[in-house]
Structure 1
């Protein structure tokens, strides 16, 4: 039944259009977190596909373009700190999808950067050494002992 509805929708979109724009692969939705098109409707002209702002279409370079107004994706997770020990920075980012993406061009809205301190130290450098482990052999021969610091 869903296939019949899609066929009828595509057919209706083709009949409605008087002038022809470029034919595109039209999709019923776009995942704003991944930028991927979902639920393909079929090949229709771009103007017809974008009669519904929730729809999206595949561009010539393979990207999915949302038909709706510019919309921000969710923020990514914070990156790791750029330094293992001491002061560094971490960042998170998001993308803009939709027609008129130039409204999303403020770099502050795309990327957040903040200072961080590497998690392997106390902020002043390496911590002290931990105690040695017991020798790997108990009697005779060569063994190994280890110690570490964080």
Structure 2
């Protein structure tokens, strides 16, 4: 009932009483602190994992997450995952959208399980989908 009525959200009047203080991962990985209007449609997770002594960047859409018996984050379930070695990083000035896509390699499979204990860094990005108008889709770009 507390979650349903959003009494535990950071901006809620009585959050100091109702907030689950031992569950910071829950709020981060669900976007629960956003207002209903601003709640993200997708959550993208990026993580660096060391594989064969090389840093690999994994990026995918968060599908689910699990905690261990002590309440610590255990694993993340990602979908539509891509990867690339960190060594393929380029300065931001040189990289373009087409180059970024080519540097990533898709990973086959329906679910990618990322064990949190193996992640060196973790980035969480909230994505809010917006509707595009038909007029904007049909108008040519001006240069």
Relative to its length, the structure with more strand (as a share) is: 2
Bigger relative contact order, structure 1 or 2 (CA pairs below 8 A, ≥6 apart) = 2
On whether the aligned pair clears a TM of 0.5, the verdict is no
**TM-score, scaled to structure 1:** 0.24
**TM-score, scaled to structure 2:** 0.24
